Structures are given as C-alpha cells and as structure tokens.
Structure 1
Amino acid sequence: MPQRAARVTVVGESLVDLLWPAGSRQATAVAGGSPANVAVGLHRLARPVTLVTCWGDDPPGELVAARLAETGVPVIRAPAATARTTVALACLDRDGSASYDFLATWDPAGLPVPEDTAVLHTGSLATILEPGAARVIALCEEQRARGRTVAADLNVRPAVQPDREVYLAACLRLAATADVLKASDEDLAFLLPGLAPAQAARRLLASEPSPALAVVTLGAAGALAVTPTGETHVPAPAVTVADTVGAGDAFQAALLDSLAAAGGSPPAGPDGLRRLLTRAARAAALTCTRTGPEPPTLADLESAAPGA
C-alpha cells in the first residue's frame, strides 16, 4: 500500500470552544473538538482521512459545519437524537494553558466506517459521554477484530466526569480496545495520582487485551513511549508559545499519520519510536506557536525538521 493511500477514520465529537484569555472581558468562539482537530491535522498532513461526527442544528452547529467545510476534511455526519452542539469554555492562563468546562452531548445513532480504513482513531468526550461512549467502544472492538489498527487519545476532561474511579474505569475499558493509546501527563495525574507517567502508562498497558504502545505527552518536557519491553523519551522543541490549544491533537495527528504510513503497526524498536515521537512533538510545538487549534501542514512539518 502506498504510504499516502492508507486512510485514517476519526470518530468523535465536534464542538465549539469559547476561548477566554486571562484578563480579557471577551471570549472568542472557535470550532474544534479533539477528534475534529485530529482529523483536520491529518488532512493538513495530506493523509486520507474521514471524520465521523455529529452536531446540532443550532448556532454553534452552524459554526462547526462551516469550519469543517472550510478545512476540506471529508465528513460523515452521523444521525443523533439531540439537536444540540457541545460547547466548551476554554479559560486560558497567561502562559496559554487551557482549563475547560462543557455543555456536552454525544449520542450518535450510527457510526459508519469507510471500507478502506486502515487506522481507526477515537477518544476524548466520545469515549466518556453516554450513550455514545458505549457505541464507540463497541465499534473499536469490532474494527480491531477485523484487523484494523485502533488508536485512542484519553484527552481527560474531569469537567464532564469528576468521579476519578468512574473515569479510570472508562479509560481502562477504552485501553482494552486499542492498539495504540495516548495520554498526557496531566491525564494520568488525574486518573492515577501518585504514579510517575511511565508507571501510570504501564497500568494502562496492563489492560486485557493490552495495547502494544502507550504514548505520554509531557508538555515542555517532551514525550514518552512505553511498551511492554521498554521506554523511549524525546525532548520537546523550544518554541515561543501563543497558546497550547490543539497541541495534543496536532501531536496525535502526526502520530497517526506515521502509523498509517507504516501500515498501522507501531515501530518495534527504540529508534523507530524515537522518530515517531520526534515528528509528533514537532507538530505539537508548531501548533503552540499559533492561536487556537491550528495544526501544521505537511510542508510546515517537513520544513521544521532539522536539516530541512
């Protein structure tokens, strides 16, 4: 299969972020959502991608529809029982970090997957909010049984489920359906307090069946890959941060792009894992230099590589 022919199908929510900078009296509405942002990131990396999502017929939904149409990402709008679009309030600290609160809904009635899908990706609210979460988990199990690679990003949002034990159980359920699992150090600190990131990642790898790879993003400290046999760490590129909105999604898009290029299988050794993480960390760093969830294009990513 040619490197750029393998399709990634992304399943999950599209929403509107109300970005509220520290010290400001005004918020800015930006269409986003982690799965939608990942799909946009993959599209900008010239990866064949389909986003399976839903939104309401309301003003936020109009913004979502316009944004997705503008990006050119192929979209399957799943039918939903609720006519409301999820809205997230993203309060930005002075360093650009965001904290979130949600008016959330996720109730797709069906989740069709294109036949040429090589990698299925999901995560975030889509794997926590019911009734949609149970449908997404069932889809992941079905797709994995068909031999497709399943990747997931925990993207923990305690505002939608503040009960730590309930959230952890949902994440462990998701981990048992995934081949590749991503989380941030902040995700793991909420789910498994007191454990170092690598230890927490190994707790996720203990799911049955087990993911082959857990990836942990560490913010300015870089990223970590944990496998049953070892750990690989890469530093983060030094950049001037505008904000961190969408950085994790850009990281995931680049990670998925590399997985799809390799036929869906994660690298087996530390050198391959180091290349995988370095490219993904570069994509996240480029996104941090921009306001809002604006992932890099393939040309951006290649030109930012050392020696380019």
Structure 2
Amino acid sequence: MCLADILRLSEDDLALLLPGVGLEKACDTWHAAGARLVVITFGGRGALASFDGLRVAVAVAASAVDAVDTVGAGDSFTAGLLRRPAAFGHLGGRLDALSLEAVTDACAFGARVAAPTCSVTGAGHPAHAAGPAPPRLRGRGAGGRAVLEIRCGWR
C-alpha cells in the first residue's frame, strides 16, 4: 500500500527499488498500490509522468547549464513539480482537480527549477547565496488544517 498520492523518483531510484522492472510496469505497480501521480526523472533527458495510468513523456525545455553537481536537483525538481499545480489550486482532494496537461506543465516547470541547481557544487541555487526562503504558514485550509505555503523562489 502506498500512502502518498505523488511519487517522484529518479531512474537510479527506480533501479534500486525495483531492479530490472521497466518504466511502464513500475508505474502500474505504484498506481495499484495507491499513488495517483508517478514521475520518474531522467536528469537532462526529461521525465515520464503517469497520472492514473495515463502517461506522458516530458521533454526538458530547461535552460542549458554546464552540470557541475547534481546534488539537490531532484529536490529542486520536486519543488517545481509541486509548486506549479499548487499555484493553480490543482493540489488537494487526492489530486481531483489535476489533469494530465497540468502534470506536463508541472514537470516542465520542475525541470526549469532544477537546471540551475546543477551548475554549482552542493545543493544550493547559484543565484541566491542566502538560500531559499523558509516555508510560511498561510492560514487554515479545509477542516481547519494548517496550510503550508512553499515558494519556489529565493530572497
């Protein structure tokens, strides 16, 4: 049983978690376990997104960078992946408002967020030495739960 609606992993993660299992079978396995969105990233080669079994290969349209270090790229991609649909109110309710088009857009945005991270050593963003702004508590959501606002931006 999968307790997450969104699963993002790299092709290296996939090889470790499900050795010898193909992309399609891996997506089907995690969907059967309960994940609604599975995204497998391939670094500069893009990503495969599978939303409720509908799949889209996302080509990376990120700006070209000289890759120095990929530490933090997956986290940066994931931040962009989550930020884009959240900005349009597509997250929540087990992703009921999310579409395959929105998933494609979110993956492309995630790639653009991750690309500059690879141009410096370590998990920092090259343009912002101060580091990312901390998450802010935005208020209360449905059922009185706190809503955490995560911004893909720096001070």
Q: Which amino acid aligns with 2:103?
A: L
- List per-residue Cα deviations over 1:172-209 (Å, max 9, x = no partner): x5xx21111111111111111122223212211111xx
> Is 1:177 the counterpart of 2:7 in the alignment?
no
The alignment covers a number of residue pairs equal to 124
CA contact 2:72–2:124 (8 Å) conserved in 1: yes
Q: Which amino acid aligns with 1:284?
A: A
Alpha-carbon distance between aligned partners in 2 of 1:197 and 1:281, rounded to the nearest angstrom: 19
Instruction: Give the direction of change, closer, same or farther, for the CA distance of 1:193–1:215 in structure 2 (3 Å limit).
Output: same
Instruction: Give the direction of change, closer, same or farther, for the CA distance of 1:260–1:271 in structure 2 (3 Å limit).
Output: closer
> Is 1:274 the counterpart of 2:104 in the alignment?
yes
Which has the higher Rg, Structure 1 or Structure 2? 1
Of residues 223, 235, 239, the one that matches 2:59 is 235
Identity among equivalent positions (%) equals 37
Q: Which amino acid aligns with 2:80?
A: A
Any stretches of 5+ residues in structure 2 without a counterpart?
129-151
Alpha-carbon distance between aligned partners in 2 of 1:219 and 1:225, rounded to the nearest angstrom: 14
Aligned-pair distance for 1:280? 0.3
What's the secondary structure of 2:120's corresponding residue? coil
Aligned-pair distance for 1:299? 6.3
What's the secondary structure of 2:27's corresponding residue? helix
Between Structure 1 and Structure 2, the one with more strand by share is 1
Alpha-carbon distance between aligned partners in 1 of 2:53 and 2:29, rounded to the nearest angstrom: 14
What's the secondary structure of 2:122's corresponding residue? coil
What's the secondary structure of 1:292's corresponding residue? coil
Equivalent residue number for residue 226 of structure 1: 50
CA contact 2:66–2:119 (8 Å) conserved in 1: yes
CA contact 2:7–2:38 (8 Å) conserved in 1: yes
Q: Which amino acid aligns with 2:77?
A: F
Aligned-pair distance for 1:269? 3.1
CA contact 2:73–2:115 (8 Å) conserved in 1: yes
Equivalent residue number for residue 41 of structure 2: 217
Any stretches of 5+ residues in structure 1 without a counterpart?
1-172, 301-308
Aligned-pair distance for 1:246? 0.3
> Is 1:262 the counterpart of 2:62 in the alignment?
no
CA contact 2:27–2:53 (8 Å) conserved in 1: no
Instruction: Give the direction of change, closer, same or farther, for the CA distance of 1:202–1:289 in structure 2 (3 Å limit).
Output: same
Q: Which amino acid aligns with 2:110?
A: A
State the Cα RMSD in Å.
Answer: 2.2
Of residues 108, 117, 124, the one that matches 1:294 is 124
CA contact 2:85–2:103 (8 Å) conserved in 1: no
1:1-308 residue pairs with structure 2 within 5 A?
A: 173=1, 176-207=2-33, 210-236=34-60, 237=62, 238-263=64-89, 264-265=91-92, 266=95, 268-295=98-125
Q: TM-score, normalised by structure 1?
A: 0.37
